[in-house]
Structure 1
C-alpha cells in the first residue's frame, strides 16, 4: 500500500512540475503573439480534448509522465502555414522573443518552487536551531573563542576595509541552522569576511569576526565548514523551533533557500 501511495505521489508531483513548466512556455508564447497549437499534459492516447476559441487544443493524455506545448512553427515540415499565419509563427519572431519562450519553462519551475517553499514557511516549518557544537581544535571558530552551546543569532558581512573590532550597522537575524549554513557556504565560496552575533549559554551577547585571511580554502577534498568550525550541535527534535513567516518574508526566504540569491538579505520582521 505504501508503495502505491509513493508511486501516486511521484506521478502527481511529476505531473505538476511538467504542467507548470509547459505552462511557462505557453504563457510566454501567447504574450509574444505565437499561436499555440496544442497544450498536452501526459503522453499517449488522449482522454480529454478541448478546442479553445483561440484554436489551441488542450489535451489530457493517458500516460501522466510528461507533457508538451506545440507551437506554430515554419520549421516543422508537417505544418502548412499560410502567409496570414506567418506573423504568429515561432520562427518568425525576433531572437529575444524566441529566447524568452524557451527560457520561460525553467523560470516557471523556479517560481513554482519558491511558491511551494513559501507556503511551507507560512504554515510553519521545524528548524534546527543555530546552536554550535564544540569546534575542532584547529578550526577558525576555535581560534576566535567559540564554545559549545553558543547560539548564532545575527550575521553581518564584513567589508574589506571595515574594522573587525568595531562593527557598524545592524546584524541580519539568523532564524535557524539551515539559514546560517547557506550564509557560511556563500561567504567561504566568495571569500567574504563576516561577523557573528552570539548568544552565550549564560545569556550574554557578544560578536566574533571571521576575517578573509582566516577563512579555509575551498578544495574538493575538504568540507569548508569543518575548517571553519561552525557546526551545529545535535538537538532533540522537541527543542527545534518552528519558523513561521508572513507572506512577504516567506517569499524572500524561499528564494534564498533555492540558492539563487535573488534577495541578499533575510527581511526583517
Structure 2
C-alpha cells in the first residue's frame, strides 16, 4: 500500500474510531435521560449506509469521514408533536443537558485510558534509553556514551520514546532537570541537566538534538563501506572492516572516528587501527593524511574511508505491563498526557512554543497515523489514545459550537436562573465558527508548510 493510500486509510480508521466513541457518549446519555435521538451519524454528507432502529433512530455512515453528529429532537430546530415534546432536548433540565453534552468528551477520555491499557498489555516495542553520543549541555551534565537513562525528572523512562517525551517539555520551559542514570559500569547516579542554558528560542522538534543527546540506536556502526583510492587507508583497510580502536582508544560508532583520527594526525606519525575482519581481529598501522575541506576551505586529517550503509536498527526494549498492572499505568499515563497537553496550550498562548508545531491538520495526522500503524498495533493504539485525549479536552474548551461552549451556556443558565437568550447564542455561534475557521486555516497552513513545501 502506497504512503498516500495508507495515510488516507489510517486517517479514516482513526477518525472513525474517535468520532464513533465521542458521538456514542452523547447518544447513550441522551437515551438514558429520556431524549429522543433522531440520527446517529459517523461522517457528514450523503449517507453511504443507513439503518433505522426499532426506536426510530437512524444510524448512518456518511461520505465525508471528518466528524459526526447526534441529532436529537429539539423544538428549536423544528415542530415537535405534542406527544413527543417531553422527549425534546430543550425540555430537559439543565443538569440533564449538561450530562448529555459532557458525555462526548468524557467518552473520549475513557477511550484514551482503554487504549493506553491495550497498548501496555500488547507491549510497545521500542529502543533502550542508552546514550550513544553526548555534547553540549548533555556533556556538561556529566553524561557519557553507554549511560542508561532511568528517569527524567519524576518520569520513569524505560524506553527512548519516554526520554524524548520527558525532555522536550523540560527543554521548552528551560528547567534544569535531574536525570537518574545507570552508567556502563552499573552504578546508579543522579545528574542535573542544565536546560536553562539552552538558547532562548530553538526548534522544539530538534530539542533532544540541541540538548546534545544522540541515542545509541541512531549511531552509524563503525563499519567501513568504502575506501578511497590512493588514500591513507588504501591497501590497509577493506570494505566490511569494523573499526574497534584507533591509537589505543575504543571506537563504538562511526562518530567516534573523526576526532580520534584528528588527534592521531596532530600527534604526527603513524598509529594502530584495530579492526574486526571476517571474524579475525587485526591491528593495522596507518598514517592519516591532511585533506582539504571543500565547504570551509580548511584542512583536516582523514583516513579516506566512508561508513557502510546503516541498516534499520532492531528494537531492543518493550514497554509492557500485565493486564492488572496496566490499569493504573493507563490512568497515570492519561493524566500525565492531559497535563502536558494543557501545558503545551499554555506555552502556545505565551509564545514559548510555535503554534506552527502545535496545531496539526489532516495531512499531518494522516501521515502520523500511517507511520504509527507501520510500527505495529501498540504504536497505533498509543497514537489513537493521544488523539482521543486531545479531542476530548479540546471539545471542552469554552468555544461556542464546541461542547465546551454549550456547557458555558448552561453554567450561565445555572447562575442567572434562565436560559441564555437565542440572540446571545446566535452571536456566540458566529464567534465560535470564526474561531474554528481560523484554527482550521492555521492547521491547513501548517500542513502545507510542514508536509508539502519541503
Partner of 1:165: none
Structure 2 distance, partners of 1:100, 1:229, is: 49
Q: Which residue of 2 aligns with 1:179?
A: 162
Q: Deviations along 1:101-121, whole A, 9 cap, x unmatched?
A: 344334433433442343122
Asked if the contact 1:46/1:59 (under 8 Å) is kept, the reply is no
Seen in structure 2, the aligned counterparts of structure 1 residues 19 and 133 have a Cα distance that, compared at 3 Å, is same
Q: Any conservation in 2 of the 1:217–1:224 contact (CA below 8 Å)?
A: no
Secondary structure, aligned partner of 2:189: strand
Q: Deviations over 1:211-262 (max 9, x none)?
A: 57x35355255644344334423256335212211232551365268x3138
Counterpart position of 2:376: none
* Higher fraction of helix: 2
SS of aligned partner of 2:321: coil
Matches of 1:45 and 1:182 in 2, distance apart?
41
Aligned 1:108-257 pairs, distance under 5 A: 108-136=107-135, 139-157=136-154, 173-210=156-193, 214-216=196-198, 219=201, 221=203, 223-234=206-217, 237-246=313-322, 247-252=326-331, 254-255=333-334
Structure 1 residue 261 corresponds to structure 2 residue 243: no
**Which residue number corresponds to residue 51 of structure 1?**
53
1:261 counterpart SS class? helix
Name the SS of the counterpart of 1:145 in structure 2. coil
CA distance in 2, matches of 1:4, 1:150: 39
Aligned partners of 1:81 and 1:249: how far apart in 2? 49
Quick check: 2:146–2:183 contact (8 Å CA) kept in 1? yes
Deviations 1:30-81 (A, max 9, x none): 34443322223455357452333xx34142446473543111112103x325
Residue 182 of structure 1: how far off its partner (Å):
1.5
Q: Across the two proteins, how many residue pairs are aligned to each other?
A: 240
Q: For residues 134 and 256 of structure 1, what CA distance do their matches in structure 2 show? A: 32
Q: Do the aligned partners of 1:74 and 1:81 also contact (CA within 8 Å) in 2?
A: no
TM-score after normalising by structure 1: 0.71
Matched residue, 2:39: 38
Q: How far apart, CA to CA, are the structure 2 residues paired with 1:261 and 1:99?
A: 24
